Amino acid sequence: MFENQKISTLQFFILVLFFTIGNTIINAPSLIASQAKQDAWISSILSLGFGLCLALLYCYLASKFPNKTIVQFSEIILGKIVGKIFSLFLISYFLIIASLMIRQFGDFMTTIIMPETPSLAIHLLFLSIIVTGAYLGIETLGRSGEVILPTLFILLVVPFLFLLPEMDINNLKPVYENGFNPIMRGTISHLGIPYLQLIVILMIFPYVKDIKKAKKIFILGVLLGGFILTTVILYSILSLGVILTEIKHYPPYFMAQKISIGDIVERLEVLIAGTWFITIFFKTTILLYAINLGLSQVFNYKNNRPMIFGLGYLLLILTQFITPNIVYFNDFFKNIVPPYGLTFGLFFPLLLLSIYIIKRKKMPTFASENN
C-alpha cells in the first residue's frame, strides 16, 4: 500500500523538477519554434509565468485538503458519483500522457540510436523499468532522485559550457518580427507540455512530510525546471538557428553534435540523451504511480500494487496505437495536447475551486470537515 509512504521536501522538489523537464527538454524547441520562430524563447518565458500561476492554483487547492489527493477531494467537492466520473477522466488524461512518453522514447531510440531494433522491444524494456519504479513507490522514487540529481546537473551543464563558442546572437533577430500572435501560439503549446500536466503532482502532494513547505518547494521546482527549459530553447536557436530548430525533431540532441574542441571533446550528444532518459523515466513513473493510486482510490482498492502490472500491459498496448508515426506525434503534441491539457490542467481545477468556494460559504461545516 502506498498511503504509508512519505517523501521529504527535497525529494518532492526533485520529483517536481524532473517532471517539469521530462520529455519537454528534447522536443519543446522544435514545437515552439515552429510557431513562434526566433521568438520561441519569449514564448517559453511567458509560458513559465503562466505555469507558475497554475502551480499557485494547485497549491491553493492542496492547502485546502492537505491530506487528500485530487481524486479524493474531487469526490468531496463534487459528490461521490460525479467526483468519481471526473476522476476517471483525469486518470485517462494521465494514461494518455504516459503512453505518449513511452512512444516518444521508443521513436527516439529507433530513429536516432538503434534504428534496427523493433520499437516493441524498446517499449517493453522501458516499461519494465517504469513498472518497477512505480511498484516500489514514491518513497523509493524520491530517494533515487536524490542520488541522480548531481549527475543530471553535470549532464546538463557540460554541453551548455562547450556550446558557448557556437552561439550566434544574430539567430535571435529580428525580435518580434511576426507580432504577438505567433508568440502566444507558442506559449499555449508550451503550456500543454509540461505546465498543465503538473496537475498530476496533486496525486503525490499529501505524501510530503512537511505540507507547509511543500507549497514553496513546488513553486521552486517549477521555476527551476522552467528556467532550464527556457535555456535549452534559447541555446537551440542560438546554435542551430530557427530553421534547423524547427525542422529537427530533437534539436538539443543535434545541437550537442556541433561540439568539437580540438578533436578531443566530441559527440557530447550522449549527455543530452542521458539527461532526457533520466527525466522522462521519472515523469512516466510518476504518471503510472498516479494512475494506479487514482484508480485504487476511485474503486476503494486496499492493495493496489498488483494492479500496476496490468496498467503496464495496458500502457504497452496503448503505446502501439496512439500515434502511427513521428510526424503525427508532433502534430498531436502541437494541436491536441494543449486544449486537452487546458481541460484537465486549468478548467477542471478552476471548477473544483469555484464549487469549493460556493459550498464553503453556504455550508460552514464543509471546510472544517476537510482541513
pLDDT in tens, 265-302: 777 788 888 899 999 999 999 999 999 999 999 998 87
Q: What is the pLDDT of residue 195?
A: 96
Cell 533515487 sits on residue: 144
- In 3D space, the residue among 87, 55, 50, 54 whose CA is nearest the CA of residue 68 turns out to be 87
If pLDDT is split at 50, 70 and 90, which confidence band does 121 have? very high
**What's the grid cell of residue 43?**
514564448
Q: What is the pLDDT of residue 367?
A: 42
Cβ proximity of 98 and 289 under 8 Å: no
CATH topology of domain 9-369: Amino acid/polyamine transporter I (1.20.1740)
Least confident of 78-82, 120-124, 156-160, 340-344: 156-160
Least confident of 130-144, 241-255, 284-298: 241-255
Euclidean distance between CA atoms 286 and 73, whole angstroms: 20
pTM of the predicted protein model: 0.94
HSE on the CB side for 42, CA within 13 Å? 19
Q: Which amino acid is at 272?
A: I
Q: How far is CA 8 from CA 142, 215, 226, in A?
A: 8, 13, 22
- For the chain, which residues make up each domain, given as ranges? 9-369
* DSSP H or E run through 261: strand 260-261
On average, the pLDDT of the chain sits at 89
